[in-house]
């Protein structure tokens, strides 16, 4: 008999018809010769209730229906007398597809997040991770749909690359060299000519540079792929392997970039509210009581657009009024997360797009502002048209910028920052041949999922997290 998914069985009103469902036992209880099974097959957060009479089944089969076991049930679909569920199944035949003994690590409810990370190969079977993973899928669909409908082409940037986009030196090397017997020159530097790619290669930290090649040909592109950073940050916001979405658009200016960032995030949040209702309600109840309200709130708010220099003024005004911060916030400093959180969560109480940062704290490719800002009556150093979108409890969710389109200015940045030129000639060609104004951003996929699920730790919104000292499963 053909299997019906639980999500469809629960909606079905063809009562008295015979039906077959398959899935994993979430729980079984019994009384007075009747047993009740909560069965889940991953198609929805909801379980379907299976009711059976002990006398209709052999005792061995009933005994083997344990938490975690995989079973196939054929029975009659009936309207459920129990509150909160539409239909249930009166079992006629139950087949055990896979036994599950009492060493099953997900036996007990209420296991800690830490414990669940240690059984990440099985945690997708819990209610919470099922919900998170279905929402994760939905966000990927939202992203592809948004860009497709807005005329962007999905562009595949390489995963193995020889350039360091962010210039932060946080690359994982890719090599087939014998690490115990490295060929070196007389100065002790490794020679790569006999390596697989004939030069030093790494896993990409960002698809942006190649994305710019796409945008300056196709007009508007986006990438959506894995990115890798060997940054030794053991925080609830950093992964060594994460997924990034990077749109890049020809002829876009700073205001249009901010419009895009805001519209895009709101589209994703709206998609979640429209398409992930059951999972969001579950997370709202079990993980974060303010979740749905916060998601709805973001849709109503206009994001604040805040030049860095004004941000520093606000922070210093707060300090003058006695607000204590651990780190200084002088003009020119990179903001610490406590500063970002103050602006977003205490001062504005809504998402903030910060712009026009000092050049020296941002990447080499950002477009330099024509005028220098004035702070405390004094002219400051050059700023760039970078944007960071700052979210409550997440901090930076998007980093983007208008790109420097002038060949000479870009070259001078590359040289003054000692970026190896030989790796950059192909990139400079975009400015040499028909250069155009353009802009783009990178959204950290897992940071979006953190926001949409209300989860607190980025390790818990990706199936198999990679962090310093951890590459299990
Ligand atoms: O701000 P980032 O470093 O910007 C870039 O890589 C640009 N090339 C993007 C562009 O303009 N096309 O990273 C972009 C976003 C961050 O805002 C953050 O959401 C996420 O990527 N991100 C991380 N997410 C998880 N773990 C990490 N280690 C991350 N590093 C950055
Ligand atoms: Mg950034």
Q: Is the CB of 397 under 6 A from ligand 1?
A: yes
Q: Is the CB of 438 under 6 A from ligand 1?
A: no
pLDDT at site 306: 98
Among the listed ranges 114-123, 130-139, 186-195, 257-266, which one has the minimum average pLDDT value?
186-195
pLDDT at site 409: 97
Contact between 443 and 228 (Cβ < 8 Å)? no
Report whether pLDDT(84) > 70: no
Contact between 212 and 438 (Cβ < 8 Å)? yes
Q: To test the ligand 1 pocket, which listed residue (399, 403, 461) has its Cβ within 8 A of the most ligand atoms?
A: 399
Closest approach atom of ligand 1 to CA 388: 17
Report whether pLDDT(32) > 70: yes
Measured in Å, residue 89 CA sits from the centre of ligand 2 at 52
pLDDT at site 403: 98
Q: How far apart are CA 335 and CA 71, in angstroms?
A: 54
The 3-class secondary structure across the chain, one letter per residue, is CCCCCHHHHHHCCCCCCEEEEEEEEEEEEEECCEEEEEEECCCCCCCEEEEEEHHHCCHHHHHHCCCCCEEEEEEEEEECCCCCCCEEEEEEEEEEEECCCCCCCCCCCCCCHHHHHHCCCCHHHCHHHHHHHHHHHHHHHHHHHHHHHCCCEECCCCCEECCCCCCCCCCCEECCCCCCCCCECCCCCECCCCCCCCCCEEECCCCHHHHHHHHHHHCEEEEEEEEECCCCCCCCCCCCEEEEEEEEEECCCHHHHHHHHHHHHHHHHHHHHHHCHHHHHHHHHHCCCCHHHHHHHHHHCCCEEEEHHHHHHHHHHHHHCCCCCCCCCCCCCCCCHHHHHHHHHHHHCCCEEEEEEEHHHCCCCECECCCCCEECCEECCCEEEEEEEEECCCEEEEEEEEECCCHHHHHHHHHHCCCCHHHCHHHHHHHHCCCCCEEEEEEEHHHHHHHHHCCCCHHHCCCCCCECCECCC
Q: How far apart are CA 76 and CA 19, in angstroms?
A: 6
Q: What is the dihedral of CA 217, 170, 306, 313, to 10 degrees?
A: -150
> pTM score, two decimals?
0.96
Q: What percent of the chain has pLDDT over 70?
A: 99
Q: What is the pLDDT of residues 360-414, one digit of tens each?
A: 999 999 999 999 999 999 999 999 999 999 999 899 999 999 999 999 999 999 9
Q: Is the CB of 398 under 6 A from ligand 1?
A: yes
pLDDT at site 86: 81
**CB-based contacts of 57: which residues, under 8 Å, 6+ apart?**
91, 94
CA-nearest residue for atom 19, ligand 1, is 444
Q: Is the CB of 461 under 6 A from ligand 1?
A: no
Measured in Å, residue 211 CA sits from the centre of ligand 1 at 14
Measured in Å, residue 388 CA sits from the centre of ligand 2 at 7
Q: Is the CB of 244 under 6 A from ligand 1?
A: yes
CA-nearest residue for atom 5, ligand 1, is 442
Q: Is the CB of 146 under 6 A from ligand 1?
A: no
Q: What is the pLDDT of residues 163-212, one digit of tens each?
A: 887 877 789 999 999 999 888 999 999 999 999 999 999 999 999 999 99
């Amino acid at each position: 008999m053909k299997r019906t998914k639980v999500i469809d069985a629960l909606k079905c009103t063809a009562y008295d018809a015979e039906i077959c469902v398959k899935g994993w036992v979430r729980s079984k209880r019994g009384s007075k010769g009747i047993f009740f099974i909560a069965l889940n097959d991953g198609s929805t957060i909801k379980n379907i209730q299976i009711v059976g009479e002990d006398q209709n089944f052999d005792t061995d089969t009933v005994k083997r229906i344990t938490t975690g076991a995989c079973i196939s049930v054929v029975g009659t679909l009936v309207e459920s007398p129990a509150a909160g569920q539409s239909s249930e199944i009166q079992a006629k035949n139950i087949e055990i597809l896979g036994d599950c003994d009492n060493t099953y690590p997900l036996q007990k409810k209420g296991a800690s997040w830490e414990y669940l990370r240690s059984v990440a190969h099985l945690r997708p079977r819990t209610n919470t991770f099922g919900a998170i993973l279905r929402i994760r899928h939905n966000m990927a669909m939202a992203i592809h749909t948004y860009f497709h409908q807005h005329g962007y082409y999905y562009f595949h940037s390489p995963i193995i690359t020889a350039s360091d986009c962010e210039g932060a030196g946080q690359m994982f090397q890719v090599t087939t060299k014998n690490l115990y017997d490295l060929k070196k020159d007389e100065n002790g530097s490794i020679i790569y000519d006999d390596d697989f790619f004939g030069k030093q290669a790494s896993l990409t930290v960002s698809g942006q540079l190649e994305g710019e090649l796409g945008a300056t040909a196709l007009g508007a592109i986006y990438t959506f792929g894995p990115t890798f950073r060997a940054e030794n940050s053991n925080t609830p916001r950093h992964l060594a392997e994460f997924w990034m979405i990077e749109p890049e658009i020809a002829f876009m200016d700073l205001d249009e970039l901010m419009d895009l960032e805001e519209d895009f995030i709101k589209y994703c949040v709206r998609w979640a509210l429209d398409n992930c209702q059951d999972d969001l309600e579950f997370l709202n109840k079990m993980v974060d009581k303010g979740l749905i309200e916060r998601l709805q709130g973001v849709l109503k708010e206009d994001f604040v657009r805040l030049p860095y220099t004004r941000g520093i003024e606000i922070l210093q005004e707060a300090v003058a009024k006695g607000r204590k911060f651990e780190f200084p916030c002088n003009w020119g400093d990179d903001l610490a997360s406590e500063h970002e959180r103050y602006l977003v969560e205490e001062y504005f109480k809504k998402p903030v797009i910060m712009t026009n940062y000092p050049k020296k704290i941002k990447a080499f490719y950002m477009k330099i502002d024509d005028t220098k800002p004035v702070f405390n009556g004094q002219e400051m150093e050059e700023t760039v048209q970078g944007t960071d979108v700052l979210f409550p409890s997440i901090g930076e969710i998007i980093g983007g910028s208008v790109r420097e389109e002038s060949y000479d200015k870009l070259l001078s940045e590359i040289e003054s920052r000692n970026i190896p030129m030989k790796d950059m000639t192909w990139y400079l060609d975009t400015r040499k041949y028909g250069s155009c104004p353009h802009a783009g951003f990178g959204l950290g996929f897992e940071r979006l999922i953190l926001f949409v699920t209300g989860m607190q730790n980025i390790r818990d919104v990706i199936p198999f997290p990679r962090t310093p000292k951890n590459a299990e499963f």
